[in-house]
Structure 1
């Protein structure tokens, strides 16, 4: 059986570390062309085949509600960062595709943000990073 006090201490430490790192990394978005949420949408879309993803897949990777993601994507369409069309395989769904401008803005910020993440995570050794990744996945899977 898990030690309750230890579980609470581990959770608090994990939560605080994540919060502090996330807060520090938000500075990566202060002078860029993308907001953090737009970056997250483009992260999913640009990693997908043909830089196209189903709206439901984008939503499942975000930490905001489906209606909020839909409104965000609509604003991104207006800004020319993505295009949106009906999903031929799902009559109620939509496909989101990165435009050239969106992909370019993403790549520009991804270089800066990736460097920032690597710098902040460099306090851990490679074996610790692997352990952290694996433990986080184990927690996510329940």
Structure 2
């Protein structure tokens, strides 16, 4: 990569990072006064989309941007609040299953409608073609790179 390409790569990265940060900040207000944090919503998103509204804890962790111990503590707090239940995974002696309770699923659905509308409104700045291109480009960036 020559110097011009490196500068362009850095500029693109900084723009992507700043856009993500600004959009994230803007839509985070969707969780004000809802009784759910954004992290709890993310757990419920994974769990409610799974068959039987039940997901393996490792699958929940894989979809989160926080460490496995943090996800485990979060899920335990959510279980205490009655949003999810947690039990041993019969297929994995070391794993756990997380299931959305009726209360958790209802809370998720209530917030998901408004949150989805906020995301759609924010993303409406882009055309359908641009949205597809953004989706495809970010998917390409998410592919694992060679190990360091």
User: TM-score, normalised to structure 2's length?
Assistant: 0.94
- Give structure 1 stretches of 5+ with no counterpart: none
Query: How many residues align structurally?
Result: 142
Distance 1:26 1:118 in 2: 14
Alignment of 1:114 with 2:121, yes or no, is: no
The one of the two structures with greater contact order (alpha-carbon pairs below 8 A, sep at least 6) is 1
Say which SS state the counterpart of residue 34 (structure 1) adopts.
Answer: coil
Q: Does 1:27 align with 2:37?
A: no
Give CA-to-partner distance per residue, 1:52-98, whole Å, 9 cap, x none. Answer: 00000000100001110000000000000000000000000000000
Matches within 5 A, 1:93-112: 93-112=95-114
Name structure 2 gaps, 5 residues minimum: none
Q: What TM-score, normalized to structure 1?
A: 0.98
Aligned to 2:65: 63
Q: Distance in 1 between matches of 2:51 and 2:6?
A: 44
